[in-house]
Amino acid sequence: MYRSERLTDLDELVLKCRTQQSKEYIAEALACYRAGAYRAVIVNTWIAIVYDLIDKLRELSISGDKGAKKLIDDFENHQKQIDDGNEQAIKAALEFERNILKISKEEMQFFDKQQYIDLERLREDRHRCAHPSFHRIEEPYKPSAEQARMHLRNAILHVLAQQPIQGKAAIDRVLSLVSSSYFPTGVDDAVIQLQGSELKNPKDSLVKGVVDALLFGFFEENSPLKFNSSVLSALKAVILLQRQVAEERIAHQTNKIFRDVSDNELIGAVFIALDIPEAWSALNEASKGKVDSFIKLAPSDNALPIFRHSIKKEELEEVTKSRISKLNEEELSKCINQYELSHHAIDRAIEIYTNVKSWNSANSAYEKLIKPLTKLFTKENIEEIISSPKEKSSDLLGSGGFHSFLESLEEQSSITKKEIDEMLDQHDLSRYKKEA
């Protein structure tokens, strides 16, 4: 008798069966195992798998899967012909059973390659156990307890415990969820949504398929996923749910995308690389070179939304700062007011403001650049502005914006009134001092 110290208790494995029917199918095989009837274990385990796969096809057929419907219609047609006494239908039904593993793998994508190999071994052992003609009569096939237990385990984990999910159909359902207007852009909420989908207990092949569909759908014309921010949150959520498989797949496919993407769609690849840390870590030098060139040369409308991500990457910090240092007033205003780059825009904003040559320019630069940043200024920033009429001949004096700037310094914590007055005296602007 096979020892009771087992890696995984069989009773616990049976509890993993998805349906009551599955538990009933395997119960007879388990009873045979405990009785030491190992040939019967293997035969009954195969029967349990066949019944369960047919049930899965029937469930998918009812839910609208066309491939499953055709298969189950063929099977039920064979049964009807058998009932009608058609002997040829018996051969067709046996052929259906003979090929059910292959059908389930290739047409329905129920198994991966290794699972298919495990189940094929069960089918072969079933033939040895059930067909005496496969062996000499005086030497009947005698499977070991270990073989019987292995087949029981594989049957439950590969088939009976699994949801009836076809690869393509499951992927389509996940994509439909992500493309919904109500799919969250926050990663934690996206995880909750995907946990309630086919990704709850997926096979590796399904995870890879979902990652591929999300990544390539992000660039597909007329797709609801095209440059959809939900794709980014979904990919990050998939990594959290299935890190080992998803991270490796994203790494491989992101470099492929960078290799093949057109210039017009390069912005999408850059967004993926910079928004998903695992994608950036996996980029090869050629792909990183494309990101660097994009930051340097892309039209500002495309580049500006990228800067808040690229400036956080050590390899891209300097090139991003260099590009920001060359932005014009309108572009820099977008960085400050739309793209969360206020701290990185200070030097360029002051440079633009302190080089104006008219009051109109001074007032415009104040409203768009200086006013949103004043509370972030250091004492040195403030002195650079106050000194500019004298040092740079900037046309700030007399402009409404300059007067508003000086008044706003009353609420500035980085400098005292005394220090402001001293600066104004030093740069021949004593007339702007406010009386105590």
In a domain, 4, yes or no: no
DSSP code string of 2-46: --S--SS-HHHHHHT-SSHHHHHHHHHHHHHHHHT-HHHHHHHHH
> In the predicted model, is pLDDT for residue 62 greater than 90?
no
pLDDT band at 81 (very low <50, low <70, confident <90, very high): confident
Examine the domain organization and report whether 252 and 110 are in the same domain: no
Q: What is the pTM of this model?
A: 0.65
What lies within 8 Å, CB to CB, of 192 at 6+ separation is none
Examine the domain organization and report whether 223 and 267 are in the same domain: yes
In a domain, 83, yes or no: yes
Enter the DSSP assignment of 222: T
Examine the domain organization and report whether 125 and 227 are in the same domain: no
pLDDT digits (tens, 9 = 90+) for 338-355: 999 999 999 999 999 999
The pair of three-digit structure tokens given for residue 364, joined into one six-digit string: 């415009």
pLDDT band at 232 (very low <50, low <70, confident <90, very high): very high
> In the predicted model, is pLDDT for residue 2 greater than 80?
no
pLDDT digits (tens, 9 = 90+) for 139-193: 678 889 999 999 999 999 889 988 776 667 788 889 999 999 999 989 999 999 9
Domain boundary, last residue among 123, 143, 160 = 160
What lies within 8 Å, CB to CB, of 78 at 6+ separation is 89, 92, 93, 96
> In the predicted model, is pLDDT for residue 427 greater than 70?
yes
pLDDT band at 76 (very low <50, low <70, confident <90, very high): confident
| pLDDT score, position 3 | 43
Distance of CA 388 to the CA centre of its chain: 50
In a domain, 37, yes or no: yes
To the nearest whole number, what is the mean pLDDT of the chain?
Answer: 89
* Percentage of the residues of the chain whose pLDDT score is greater than 70: 95
pLDDT digits (tens, 9 = 90+) for 236-289: 999 999 999 999 999 889 999 999 999 999 999 999 999 999 999 999 999 999
In a domain, 1, yes or no: no
Section 314-323 average pLDDT: 96
Enter the DSSP assignment of 370: I
| pLDDT score, position 198 | 83
Rounded-to-integer distance, Cα 428 and Cα 47, Å: 98
Structural domain boundaries, residue 316: 166-324
Total domains in the chain come to 3
pLDDT band at 7 (very low <50, low <70, confident <90, very high): very low
Examine the domain organization and report whether 172 and 318 are in the same domain: yes
Rounded-to-integer distance, Cα 42 and Cα 234, Å: 42
Listed in sequence order, the DSSP H helices in 63-166 are: 66-83, 87-98, 100-106, 113-130, 145-155
Asked whether the CA dihedral 261, 267, 268, 274 is positive or negative, the reply is: positive
Distances (CA, A) of 27 to 47, 54, 146, 159, 281: 12, 18, 18, 15, 49
